């Protein structure tokens, strides 16, 4: 764990850039020290601003965390919703693959990894933030994937499945494999991120594939 005393201010930006400057510092401090133990003084020092400057934009750590989530995840969910739902020229299979590529790439980002560790390890201590993350990230992400899977069912690309169940299973697989990819275990197996992504997608799309029509053999003729 990196000590706060070892950090030096990394950003020297214009006043209009200070909110982002503070958020960048908050991601690093929260990741190093956890949400409960992080102090606004530490964030201010790393950001190169005064503690009072933080209060001009964010009243507390919880507000900082929410804005981190909005910028890191929620804004991307909204953009992905617009891109996929407005483009009906793609097949549902293509849309699901694009969605999952986006989600995989996001999970592999270092800033999201820090946030995800906070969500798994600490968020239960902050009920308001649990509700916020559930509503703004989990529910919105799942609703979008549900719509794409249901479209595939409607077009016959996927077999009849409950889209919520299918979406929950695939995102759980991705989350688990993303965490494992942060370790050296996959490296020892010579598995790159791309190989793991394709393995999960192959398994998922095979699970959704429509059943092949049964072929009745012609009766033998004398």
Q: Where are the domains of the chain?
A: 1-59, 61-208
Question: Residue 178's pLDDT is what?
Answer: 75
Predicted model pTM: 0.78
1-59 fold = Arc Repressor Mutant, subunit A (1.10.10)
Query: What ranges in 39-126 are assigned the alpha helix state H?
Result: 40-47, 51-57, 61-69, 75-85, 92-107, 110-121
Has residue 80 got a pLDDT over 50? yes
pLDDT tens for 88-121 read 688 999 999 999 999 888 888 888 888 888 888 8
Closest CA to 31 of 104, 129, 110, 109: 110
| CATH fold group of domain 61-208 | Tetracycline Repressor; domain 2 (1.10.357)
CA of residue 97 relative to chain centroid, distance: 15
Q: How far apart are CA 130 and CA 119, in angstroms?
A: 8
Residue 217: per-residue pLDDT: 54
Distance, in Å, from the CA atom of 32 to the CA atom of 16, rounded to the nearest integer, reads 26
Question: 67: Cβ–Cβ under 8 A, 6 or more apart, which residues?
Answer: 19, 23, 58
Using DSSP, state whether 7 is helix, strand or coil: coil
Q: 148, 99 in Cβ contact below 8 A?
A: yes
The percentage of the chain sitting over the pLDDT mark of 70, rounded to a whole number, equals 84
């Amino acid at each position: 764990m990196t000590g706060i005393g070892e950090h030096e201010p990394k950003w020297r930006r214009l006043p209009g850039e200070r909110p982002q400057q503070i958020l960048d510092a908050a991601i690093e401090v929260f990741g190093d020290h956890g949400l409960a133990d992080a102090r606004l003084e530490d964030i201010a020092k790393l950001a190169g601003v005064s503690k009072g400057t933080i209060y001009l934009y964010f009243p507390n750590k919880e507000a900082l965390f929410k804005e981190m989530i909005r910028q890191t995840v929620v804004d991307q969910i909204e953009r992905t919703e617009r891109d996929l739902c407005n483009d009906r020229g793609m097949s549902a299979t293509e849309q699901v693959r694009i969605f999952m590529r986006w989600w995989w790439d996001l999970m592999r980002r270092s800033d999201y990894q820090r946030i995800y560790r906070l969500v798994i390890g600490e968020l239960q201590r902050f009920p308001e933030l649990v509700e916020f993350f559930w509503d703004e990230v989990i529910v919105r992400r799942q609703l979008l994937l549900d719509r794409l899977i249901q479209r595939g069912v409607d077009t016959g690309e996927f077999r009849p499945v409950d889209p919520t169940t299918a979406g929950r299973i695939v995102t759980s697989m991705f989350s688990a494999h993303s965490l494992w990819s942060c370790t050296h275990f996959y490296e020892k197996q010579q598995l790159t991120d791309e190989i793991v992504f394709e393995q999960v997608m192959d398994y998922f799309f095979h699970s959704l594939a429509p059943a092949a029509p049964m072929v009745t053999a012609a009766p033998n003729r004398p």
